[in-house]
């Protein structure tokens, strides 16, 4: 493991004004999103959709530090024969890869899951490195409900994250460590904070046991938000204060940066929350975004699978990338959002 190189990549992933595009939807997930806009999901339509984002030059160069890819995408070529990985690199962004096999039911724990995919991971990481990936992603899912999460669930997912992270660093790949506490349900912001703190403390304990170098990782946590069904929602300032408070108690200063997931928030909500946190300041890590739907919902709708709509899709993507780039520096305002749209 070359820690200096891993740290250099991690720092680039959270560079000021830039963040990560999560374009790693599985074939089944992107099919659902294409259904919503009336587009058949084929290898060609999936390629065309992702290609127009990767060719949005200003957005990629100025605001997107890295792109998380799916196994299909990292092997695909653009219409002109250029590997999609090369398009990302030419824009000055870093290619990454999703390596987990998804969340599966945890035995004897109704409503809980554990993420699988460790079998054969060493070999897959070596192949992905040859294909151009310099960082990877593994998502653990923690749900809040009656009697859950259990310690068994949090511990099992934390151990898997740590084993994955160690294998990544062994292969010269920066691991994105993603423990996501879901925002489904009716819990309040305090319960989200409690479960997130528990989860993060267990994750960092397991990273220590696995001898993972914190200088060579990027953390991708949820923000501290109430459940979608909670009768009491929270302002952007309340979310920001609660999130920073929890992370200060859990995340060592050695971690280069935090790239938040949007977790089902609307695109503007995710931007507003990130901006509010960065305006508060006073934390040791860089804080940016690693968004999927919050970056892609508007471009998907504008594109709608029609070649003549590619410029409109690119404009929508560039706008969302710029707004989140500004938010990562605490420079976004709602007035700017509406002005630039």
Positions marked active-site: 178, 220
* Residue 85 CB contacts under 8 Å (≥ 6 apart), including other chains: 69, 74, 95, 131, 132, 133
Q: CA-to-CA distance for 212 and 226, rounded, in angstroms?
A: 31
Contact 239, 230 (CB under 8 A): no
The total number of residues shown for the chain amounts to: 341
296 to each of 26, 89, 206, 313, 317, how far by Cα in Å? 15, 20, 33, 9, 7
Q: CA-to-CA distance for 178 and 24, rounded, in angstroms?
A: 14
Q: CA-to-CA distance for 37 and 212, rounded, in angstroms?
A: 42
Q: CA-to-CA distance for 276 and 278, rounded, in angstroms?
A: 6
Q: Using alpha carbons only, what angle is made at residue 223 by residues 289 and 94, rounded to the nearest 5 degrees?
A: 20
Q: For residues 15, 21, 26 and 29, what is the CA-based torsion angle, rounded to 10 degrees?
A: 140
């Amino acid at each position: 493991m070359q820690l200096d190189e891993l740290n250099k990549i991690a720092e680039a992933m959270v560079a000021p004004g830039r963040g990560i595009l999560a374009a790693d939807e599985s074939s089944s997930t992107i099919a659902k999103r294409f259904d919503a806009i009336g587009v058949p999901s084929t290898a060609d339509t999936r390629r065309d959709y992702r290609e127009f984002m990767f060719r949005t030059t200003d957005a990629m160069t100025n605001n997107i530090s890295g792109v998380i890819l799916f196994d299909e995408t990292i092997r695909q070529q653009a219409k002109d024969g250029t590997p999609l990985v090369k398009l990302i690199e030419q824009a000055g962004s870093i290619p990454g890869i999703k390596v987990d096999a998804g969340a599966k039911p945890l035995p004897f724990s109704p409503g809980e899951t554990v993420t699988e995919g460790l079998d054969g991971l060493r070999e897959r990481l070596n192949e992905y490195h040859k294909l151009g990936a310099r960082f990877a992603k593994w998502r653990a899912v923690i749900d809040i409900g009656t009697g859950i999460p259990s310690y068994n669930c949090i511990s099992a997912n934390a151990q898997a994250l740590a084993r994955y992270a160690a294998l990544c660093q062994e292969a010269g790949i920066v691991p994105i460590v993603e423990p996501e506490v879901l925002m489904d349900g009716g819990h309040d912001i305090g319960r989200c904070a409690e479960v997130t703190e528990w989860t993060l403390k267990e994750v960092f304990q397991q990273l220590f046991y696995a001898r993972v170098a914190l200088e060579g990782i990027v953390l991708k946590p949820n923000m501290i938000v109430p459940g979608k069904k909670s009768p009491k929602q929270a302002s952007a300032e309340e979310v920001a204060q609660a999130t920073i408070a929890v992370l200060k108690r859990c995340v060592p200063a050695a971690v280069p940066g935090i790239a938040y997931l949007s977790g089902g928030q609307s695109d503007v909500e995710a931007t507003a929350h990130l901006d509010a946190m960065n305006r508060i300041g006073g934390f040791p890590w860089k804080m940016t975004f690693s968004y999927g739907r919050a970056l892609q919902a508007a471009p998907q709708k504008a594109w709608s699978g029609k070649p003549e709509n590619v410029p409109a899709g690119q404009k929508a993507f560039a706008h969302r990338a710029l707004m989140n780039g500004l938010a990562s520096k605490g420079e976004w305002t709602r007035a700017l959002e509406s002005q630039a749209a």
